Amino acid sequence: MLYLIGLGLSYADDITVRGLNAVKKCKRVYLEAYTSILMAADKESLEEFYGREVILADRELVESGSDIILENAQEDDVAFLVVGDPFGATTHTDLIIRARELNIPIETIHNASVMNAVGACGLQLYNFGQTVSLVFFTENWRPDSFYNKILENRKIGLHTLVLLDIKVKEQSIENMARGRLIYEPPRYMSIETAAEQLLEIEEKRQEQCYTENTPAVAISRLGSPAQTIKAATLKELTQYESGEPLHSLIILGRQVHDLELDYLQAFCENIDQYKQFVREDQEFFKPPPYVPPEEDEFSD
């Protein structure tokens, strides 16, 4: 049996009881270690809590070495641990497809992820549209494919959850070219960097998807003891000191409910000013009034 087990967002004991029972009976336990991190636990603390050895599974092992993870899983129980929920990252569907091809039974044990815990900021989950990912820009690579999805969300009034880039066990271009297994230090995108990159792309595209005054919400260390939430404009967030990772950013949609604004008041320095920016944003993206089609003069 292959068990895909969600670990939740932060603590070693965020794992469910069913997930913990599955881990304890598995012959091998892998921890996926590149799409996210547990903010209040590490490999050693997990091993102590589980009473089992934990094998770190980096991107290379998961994407290219699935046969190692799945070895003898027809007869042995193998656990694949994922921070958040197992289906929070599409990467893990490849592992499931490969297990099916090998006729390995699969059981998924779900847990909280950023996709649902983001409701802690007070914005209603029903009002979220497409989720987008924002990667670190480089000198020669500044992708803007996320922009169209944000614009689609904004036009129909929905909030956009922006997941910020994580670089773990990455090689520099030089080391990769020379075949040297030397890895760069881990990097986690901050709120400040995300806001700057978003505004840079708006300056480039000029399609008014958002502006410096667009209301947003910054969420840092969601589900951890040091969780913080900040409601501000994108311009204000370029000066925000977001601190230790992990971070996510929400761009508000046009249809902001009064209850959502009331909840955000606890995270906003100047709620009156913030509400004004929300009203201006709503007015800008208000759909045009309905104009009935002209009747055909020759119709019955």
Identify whether the C-beta of residue 150 lies closer than 8 Å to the C-beta of residue 254. no
CA dihedral 45, 111, 56, 89 (to 10 degrees): -150
d(CA 7, CA 197): 31
Is 179 annotated in some ligand binding site? no
Is 88 annotated in some ligand binding site? yes
Is 222 annotated in some ligand binding site? yes
d(CA 203, CA 207): 9
Is 114 annotated in some ligand binding site? yes
> Can you list the alpha helix ranges (DSSP code H) found in the chain?
17-25, 43-50, 59-64, 66-69, 91-101, 114-117, 146-155, 173-177, 191-205, 234-237, 258-264, 271-284
Is 145 annotated in some ligand binding site? no
Identify whether the C-beta of residue 42 lies closer than 8 Å to the C-beta of residue 110. no
Is 162 annotated in some ligand binding site? no
Is 82 annotated in some ligand binding site? no
Is 85 annotated in some ligand binding site? yes
d(CA 177, CA 187): 21
Binding-site residue ranges: 9, 85, 88, 113-114, 164, 222, 247
Binding-site residue ranges for S-adenosyl-L-methionine: 9, 85, 88, 113-114, 164, 222, 247
